[in-house]
Amino acid sequence: MSDTTNIGSFFIEDAPEIQKVIGTEDVPLISSDFTSDITVPVLREVEPADEVEMKKAWKSIRSFFRNGNSKKSIKNSTPLLSLPYQSDAFTASDYPIWISDVVGDESCCRSLQELLTEAVSEATGGVESSILKNNIARIVKTVDESLAKSGEVTTFYSCILAALDDLAKRLSIPGDDGKKFDKHLKRLRKVIPTHGILVPYNSNAGFQIFGAMLQQETGRRSQQLSDKILKLKCKLQGQLAIDHEKEEQDPKELESTLSFASELLDFEKVSKVLPDAGAVQMSASRKKRLEDTIAKLEIADKLLKNKAFVFIGDDQKTPESPDWKLLLGDVNIKSFKKGAGYTTIKKAFEQEIEQWTLVIVGIQIAELELAGRYMEDVHDEYFESLTWRDFSEDEITSCPPFVLIASEEYIADSEMGEFSKILSKGIPIRSLVLKNDIEDAYKSNGVETESNFSYHQELGAFVISHRNAFVCQSTAIKPLVLYNELKNGLTVASPGAFFLLSSIRKKPVDSYMWVSAAVSGREYPGFTFSGNMNSHWGSRFNIDNNFQAENVWPIEEVIAQKGKEDETITAHFTYADFATFLPKYTSFFQDVEQCYWNENLLELAQYLKLDKEEAVGKVPFIWMADEKLHLKKVAVAWPLVLKCRERQDFWRFLQESSGVNNYHVKNAIAKAEESLGVIAAEKMEALKAEHQVELQAAVDEAAGQAMDNLSAVLLDMDAGTFVPGSGSSAPGKAIEKPAASEESDTPEVPTEADSPAISMAAEAYIDTALCTSCNECTNLNGSLFNYNDDKMAFIADINAGTFEELVEAAELCPVGIIHPGDPVNNNEPGLDALIERAKKFN
């Protein structure tokens, strides 16, 4: 007895030493080569602290909650829902993107992945699995890596060709597979576009998209417009030329053109009898108008040289700001000083539009003239007083756009009054308003004071309040969506404002993560608002471009490991989760040790739903995971809770405006349900009563029939032929007709004898999916039979073997899946016997 206790205590005492040898949880001894990558978060099993300790700890937790004075850092922890993306290998999913640099492409902005998938399926003829198809991700990755190396935009074609060569070299696939692969590669090179650029994700991606969109759209439009003007001009000139022809022919002119006949003709006389002479000529005023119009149209030649006018705030000259000249290409760029933005751009717009008014007038007159519908008494006056305000949407958008680019602060600080004027006057000037994380990324080290805590500019909402502008708030996270949003903004005649959030963190992965978190945590929700005066208010909003737009906060289930079991954790991504990315908020987070977890610790999303009384004594937390993937509950301090409330409120404003959980809709539904409930209850009663009557009738009828049937049987009649409802009108007949039952057994499909004889030859085939790869058929004739990529047999070339071989293979095949069909070559000897043998397998 004492021996055993001794041994026991020996082990306990020496346990730390022993554990050094065998390894423990705290000293992970597994060398990194051997660890399998674990990605499942772990929920540890921890005993709760005793009552006294619990009380003590909670006193300090509550004090933290009130003051937000945490000293502990959460630097090495990640919000649970962003855990899966904490890898440097993570690549932004829709990037790199291909952007066309040739005006007129149908889709100008596509993800490389999508572009390749389509091209590969074309190159491989749409087969289900091919080596090329299985390696699209690899091609994308190679391109990604080469883009990451240069960090720059690259020409698509050279980059993709290099990636394909790299793939071919790296895989160096042997044998038949290799040949097929080479063939597919060759075709792929022919199918992919040879123009365009590749854009990786980085802090300038959004601007790149804006620039590409602007070039595409303005290029396309100016092309259309100049085509149109050219046509009109030609036609007008044609009219003038005809008129000129109608003038009396000058004998001198005749003489010069017909000089070879000078000895034969009297030009004086001929000129009098030529057919045109004497036709009605156009009035002088019309002629002048046509000439004026042509002159007006000619102004466009000069104007079209400027595809767009871009005014950039002089704060956009910092090292962090993009090189706009490079991004926007061939447009007219000017810079403006703080506070002078809208006045400058408005003046420039007015000057330019005055010129354009002449051109548009020219087009309108030309069109009326050519249609023969110009009426001087009406139109002269009309065109006299025409301004750009009378333009149609198409006409306005065919003029070069005016774009003002500035940071959010620049506008909020000193431009609000002018901005508002532009918006309310409906002047079609677009603003690209930029916001980035410069403060969070570099400058912030202090603690945010409570006074500036809930200050959010929300310029988007400011523009919405003007009702008739186009607004979009977005990011470059989803490049294709962004492209289309921006394009839509440019195709309406109203003023527009594009708000773009970007991040200038050094690593693109970090930037992407930060922006995604800002959108997910409702810090910067995406939305568009199309302020078309003739539309319903609600229909102007769109918030689809958000993570789980239907929820207040995004919500996801995460499977964690607790001991040997799985545990499902439901976690939200709130503004506080986003705030963990901002150093200035560090003191508002405090990890609560697991032994102090109790029912007073409430997930923040739940906490925010409580009313004042319910919230007393509770402390909100968010789920995070540390480097070892251990789950943590991190308490959030009161000042940050207030900020979350504010963000939730703004998001609810967008949601309700777009009809999600809308107050009025909810009320209306409740009311409708109530009144429908009353009606439904009444209806139900009525139906029940009705049903009762019908039921009784049915019971009566059935009873009657049963009686009839019974009597029929008693009378030795065939009850099977008894037609319900026909009474007992056919006694005796059934006895004579025993065939009745046989008839009903016959299915209503045409029997073999019925179907017309088809003379088409049955083709040979193999049930490939059932092939057991036994080599029987391929050994017999390797050209006739072949294995596919999955080493399963199919008929590769029916003409590479005889019918006899087909039949023999069918007989050899251990699983009987070869069907020889009919012979293709009717001259083969001994066919009759072979066809007989083949029958079994067809």
Partner 1 sequence: MFGLKPDAALELPENYYVLDDYEKGIARWCDGCGDHAVLASVQKLCREEQLDPVKTVFVSGIGCSSRFPHYMNTYGFHGLHGRAFPVACGIKHRRPDLDVFVITGDGDCCSIGAGAWIHAIRYNVNLTVMLFNNEIYGLTKKQQSPTSRIGTVSNTTPRGSILPPLDPMQVTLGVANASFVAQTADWNPAHMHATIKAAHAHKGFSFVHILQRCPIFQPELVNELTSNRDNICYLKDDNGITVSEDIEKTFKHSAPHDPSDINGARQLAASEEKIYLGLFYQGKNKENYDDYGAHNLGVTVEEKTAMLNAEFDKYGI
Residue 149 as a binder of partner 1 (CB under 8 A): the answer is no
Residue 804 beta carbon to partner 1: minimum distance, rounded to whole angstroms? 19
Residue 839 beta carbon to partner 1: minimum distance, rounded to whole angstroms? 18
Q: Residue 218's Cα: distance from chain center in Å? A: 24
Residue 808 as a binder of partner 1 (CB under 8 A): the answer is no
Give the DSSP per-residue string, 343-401: HHHHHHHHHHHHHHHHHHHHHHHHHHHHTT---HHHHHHHHHT--GGG--HHHHHHSPP
Residue 30 as a binder of partner 1 (CB under 8 A): the answer is yes
Question: Please, which residues have CB within 8 angstroms of residue 544's CB and are 6 or more apart in sequence?
Answer: none
Which part of the chain contacts partner 1 (CB under 8 A), choosing from 205-213, 616-624, 808-816, 832-840?
A: 808-816
Which part of the chain contacts partner 1 (CB under 8 A), choosing from 41-49, 136-144, 668-676, 834-842?
A: 136-144
Contact residue for partner 1 among 2, 4, 31, 746 (CB under 8 A): 31
The three-state secondary structure class of 537 is coil
Contact residue for partner 1 among 275, 319, 725, 814 (CB under 8 A): 814
Contact residue for partner 1 among 70, 111, 135, 587 (CB under 8 A): 135
**Token pair of 11, please?**
């082990």
Cα 736 to Cα 724: distance, rounded to the nearest angstrom: 20
Residue 547 as a binder of partner 1 (CB under 8 A): the answer is yes
- Do residues 459 and 412 touch, judged by C-beta distance below 8 A? yes
Nearer to partner 1, 345 or 624 (CB): 624
CA dihedral 296, 298, 300, 302 (to 10 degrees): -130
Contact residue for partner 1 among 53, 118, 152, 177 (CB under 8 A): 177
Q: x/- string (CB under 8 A) for partner 1, residues 348-387?
A: ----------------------------------------
Q: Would you tell me how many other CB atoms lie within 10 Å of the CB of residue 556?
A: 14
Contact residue for partner 1 among 41, 43, 78, 94 (CB under 8 A): 94
Contact residue for partner 1 among 200, 400, 554, 821 (CB under 8 A): 554
Cα 290 to Cα 703: distance, rounded to the nearest angstrom: 95
Residue 676 beta carbon to partner 1: minimum distance, rounded to whole angstroms? 38
Nearer to partner 1, 28 or 278 (CB): 28
Cα 524 to Cα 515: distance, rounded to the nearest angstrom: 9
Contact residue for partner 1 among 204, 528, 546, 586 (CB under 8 A): 546
Which part of the chain contacts partner 1 (CB under 8 A), choosing from 15-23, 581-589, 625-633, 733-741?
A: 15-23
Nearer to partner 1, 763 or 790 (CB): 790
Peptide bond into 275 cis (omega under 30): no
Which part of the chain contacts partner 1 (CB under 8 A), choosing from 528-536, 546-554, 600-608, 610-618?
A: 546-554
Question: Please, which residues have CB within 8 angstroms of residue 37's CB and are 6 or more apart in sequence?
Answer: none
CA dihedral 757, 759, 760, 765 (to 10 degrees): 70
Residue 18 beta carbon to partner 1: minimum distance, rounded to whole angstroms? 8
Angle between helices 341-370 and 376-384 (to 10 degrees): 170
Residue 477 beta carbon to partner 1: minimum distance, rounded to whole angstroms? 4
Residue 173 beta carbon to partner 1: minimum distance, rounded to whole angstroms? 5
Residue 564 as a binder of partner 1 (CB under 8 A): the answer is yes
Residue 533 as a binder of partner 1 (CB under 8 A): the answer is no
Cα 663 to Cα 652: distance, rounded to the nearest angstrom: 11
Nearer to partner 1, 793 or 834 (CB): 793
Cα 40 to Cα 83: distance, rounded to the nearest angstrom: 10
Residue 200 as a binder of partner 1 (CB under 8 A): the answer is no
Length of the chain: 842
Look up residue 634 and give its DSSP letter: E
Residue 792 as a binder of partner 1 (CB under 8 A): the answer is yes
User: Please, what is the Cα angle at 477 between 472 and 483, to 5 degrees?
Assistant: 50
Nearer to partner 1, 29 or 610 (CB): 29
- Do residues 126 and 199 touch, judged by C-beta distance below 8 A? no
Which part of the chain contacts partner 1 (CB under 8 A), choosing from 24-32, 229-237, 291-299, 485-493?
A: 24-32
Q: x/- string (CB under 8 A) for partner 1, residues 565-584?
A: xx------x-----------
Long-range contacts of 799-805, Cβ-Cβ distance < 8 Å, separation of 24 or more:
799/824, 802/828, 803/828, 803/831, 803/834, 803/838, 804/828, 804/830, 804/834, 805/780, 805/781
User: Please, what is the Cα angle at 271 between 270 and 275, to 5 degrees?
Assistant: 95
Nearer to partner 1, 53 or 176 (CB): 176
Look up residue 442 and give its DSSP letter: I
Using CA of residue 147, residue 149, residue 154, residue 160, what is the dihedral sign?
negative
Residue 632 beta carbon to partner 1: minimum distance, rounded to whole angstroms? 19
Nearer to partner 1, 146 or 468 (CB): 146
Residue 562 as a binder of partner 1 (CB under 8 A): the answer is no
Give the DSSP per-residue string, 657-693: HTTTT-HHHHHHHHHHHHHHHHHHHHHHHHHHHHHHH
Residue 128 as a binder of partner 1 (CB under 8 A): the answer is no
Q: Would you tell me how many other CB atoms lie within 10 Å of the CB of residue 247?
A: 11
Q: How many chain residues interact with partner 1 (CB under 8 A)?
A: 67
Q: What are phi and psi of 358, to 5 degrees?
A: -60, -45
The three-state secondary structure class of 466 is coil
Name which of 340, 342, 344, 385 is nearest 361 in CA terms: 385
Residue 82 as a binder of partner 1 (CB under 8 A): the answer is yes
- Do residues 604 and 30 touch, judged by C-beta distance below 8 A? no
Residue 10 beta carbon to partner 1: minimum distance, rounded to whole angstroms? 10
- Do residues 617 and 600 touch, judged by C-beta distance below 8 A? yes
Residue 654 beta carbon to partner 1: minimum distance, rounded to whole angstroms? 15
Contact residue for partner 1 among 52, 169, 174, 568 (CB under 8 A): 174
Nearer to partner 1, 85 or 638 (CB): 85
Cα 166 to Cα 139: distance, rounded to the nearest angstrom: 9
Residues 735-774 that bind partner 1 (CB under 8 A): 769-774
Residue 12 as a binder of partner 1 (CB under 8 A): the answer is no
Residue 594 beta carbon to partner 1: minimum distance, rounded to whole angstroms? 22
Name which of 518, 445, 417, 440 is nearest 477 in CA terms: 518
Nearer to partner 1, 34 or 663 (CB): 34
Residue 45 beta carbon to partner 1: minimum distance, rounded to whole angstroms? 15
Residue 541 as a binder of partner 1 (CB under 8 A): the answer is no
Contact residue for partner 1 among 7, 29, 102, 713 (CB under 8 A): 29
Contact residue for partner 1 among 11, 20, 118, 609 (CB under 8 A): 20
Contact residue for partner 1 among 63, 67, 76, 134 (CB under 8 A): 134
Residue 559 as a binder of partner 1 (CB under 8 A): the answer is no
Residue 794 as a binder of partner 1 (CB under 8 A): the answer is no
Contact residue for partner 1 among 42, 57, 103, 131 (CB under 8 A): 131
Nearer to partner 1, 404 or 482 (CB): 482
Binding site for partner 1 (CB under 8 A): 14, 17-18, 20-23, 28-31, 33-34, 36, 81-82, 84-85, 87, 89-94, 131, 134-135, 137-138, 141, 170-171, 173-175, 177, 477-478, 512, 516-517, 519-520, 546-547, 554, 564-566, 573, 769-776, 779, 789-792, 812, 814-815
